[in-house]
């Protein structure tokens, strides 16, 4: 395998690992909430998430993890996951639990770095998306459609 193929293979493997880790963490976290582990239930109740709200948070957590882990829904899943983890960070900041906001921040960072490594086109920038090849291709298409090209 040449250098470029090895580099892309390494990006793909690293991306898969970095995608898997936040997905696993959110899945396990939701399972713990559904199981009603007393320490988790107490901490969530202290933050205002008791009974039905706790179940809703656990459901949204497992849903965002599933959407993110499944390749066909990953582009939507990364947005849902970002919203969920952003809400978790905001909750911790609102409750003046700044240190607890670091965990969701790290998971969010891992998720986006993983998506970037695995699917570089996900972070496409319009100005940078045009290469010399695509510009010359569009010029060729314009020339072939001009009335003088016969």
As given in the structure block, the two tokens for residue 45 are 């109740």
- State pTM to two decimals: 0.77
Q: Which residues contact 87 (CB under 8 A, 6 or more apart)?
A: none
pLDDT digits (tens, 9 = 90+) for 5-61: 788 889 999 999 999 999 999 999 999 999 999 999 999 999 999 989 999 999 999
How many angstroms separate the CA atoms of 108 and 47, rounded? 21
CB burial of residue 27 (10 Å; 0-12, 13-18, 19+)? middle
């Amino acid at each position: 395998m040449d250098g470029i193929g090895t580099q892309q293979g390494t990006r793909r493997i690293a991306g898969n690992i970095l995608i898997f880790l936040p997905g696993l963490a959110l899945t396990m976290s939701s399972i713990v909430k559904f199981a009603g582990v007393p320490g988790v239930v107490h901490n969530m109740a202290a933050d205002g998430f008791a009974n039905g709200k706790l179940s809703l948070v656990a459901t949204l957590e497992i849903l965002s993890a599933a959407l993110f882990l499944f390749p066909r829904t990953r582009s939507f899943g990364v947005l849902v996951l970002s919203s969920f983890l952003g809400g978790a960070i905001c909750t911790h900041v609102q409750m003046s639990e700044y240190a607890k906001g670091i965990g969701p921040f790290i998971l969010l960072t891992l998720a986006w770095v993983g998506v970037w490594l695995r699917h570089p086109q996900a972070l496409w920038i319009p100005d940078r998306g045009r290469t010399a090849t695509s510009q010359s291709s569009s010029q060729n298409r314009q020339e072939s459609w001009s009335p003088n090209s016969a």
